[in-house]
Amino acid sequence: MISVEQGFCIWLTGLSGSGKTTIAQELVKRLENSRFIEVMDGDEIRKGLSRDLGFSKEDRNEHNRRVIFCSKLLARSGVIVIVALISPYRETRAYAKEQIQNTIEVFVKAPLEVCIERDPKGLYKKALAGEIKNFTGIDDPYEEPLNPDVVVETDKQDVNESVNTILFKIHANGLLSDEAYESMTK
């Protein structure tokens, strides 16, 4: 039986604008009273730990590898790690699951058209105008997960529904006590 005090990782993957950061923020609100939480947001990590990297496949893999390494250290110390990262390649996400104990892979699914319409950072507009190269979903591939632990469709589910779906899976995997789960999903 897995201890409810054991660390774990919620790995949110999806296109830019799919809702990863929004879901991560709501997960923090719901989980904050249970124990230590750390959010590994791709945009924030690129400002510090990965500021020396670009967007080639090799650089993306290195960026992901750095996040995986940090997440592994945190999770094995009992921290709940929430990773909000495009992580476009299946191979890298599989490596994350191998390396980080109790990883729940969540596909934050939204059609490309919806992500382009949302475009919170104006990046799709720039990529479509040719101002940004190697942009995931436009001129660089996003490999959808083949068998994620959870799929949330943010064009069909609101944030609360998405987070409840994720919390249900975490609880089902024995990573949240019944009491904690019930208090988070009321």
Question: Could you read off the pLDDT of 121-158 as tens digits, one per residue?
Answer: 888 999 989 898 889 989 899 999 999 999 999 999 99
The verdict on whether 87 is a catalytic residue reads yes
> In terms of pLDDT, which residue wins out, 55 or 48?
48
Domain boundaries defined on the chain: 8-184
What's domain 8-184's architecture? Answer: 3-Layer(aba) Sandwich (3.40)
Share of the chain above pLDDT 70, in %: 97
Pairs from 57-62 (Cβ < 8 Å, separation ≥ 24): 57/89, 57/140, 60/88, 60/89, 60/92, 61/89, 61/92
Task: Quote the pTM value.
Answer: 0.92
Per the model's pLDDT, the better-predicted residue between 152 and 176 turns out to be 152
Question: Using CA atoms, how far apart are residues 109 and 15, in angstroms rounded to an integer?
Answer: 8
Nearest partner of 21 among 142, 99, 118, judged by Cα: 118
17, 39, 67, 100, 185 from 121: Cα distances, Å: 8, 19, 22, 30, 31
Which pLDDT tens digit goes with each residue over 1-30?
Answer: 444 478 999 999 999 999 999 999 999 999
Q: Where would I find the H helices in the chain?
A: 20-31, 42-47, 57-76, 90-99, 112-118, 123-128, 159-172, 178-184
pLDDT at 2: 44
Catalytic residue, from 50, 87, 177, 183: name it: 87
Quick one: average pLDDT of 95-102? 95
Given pLDDT bands bounded at 50, 70 and 90, which one contains residue 43? confident
Mean pLDDT of 85-112: 96
pLDDT at 9: 97
When pLDDT is averaged across residues 93-109 and rounded to a whole number, the result is: 96
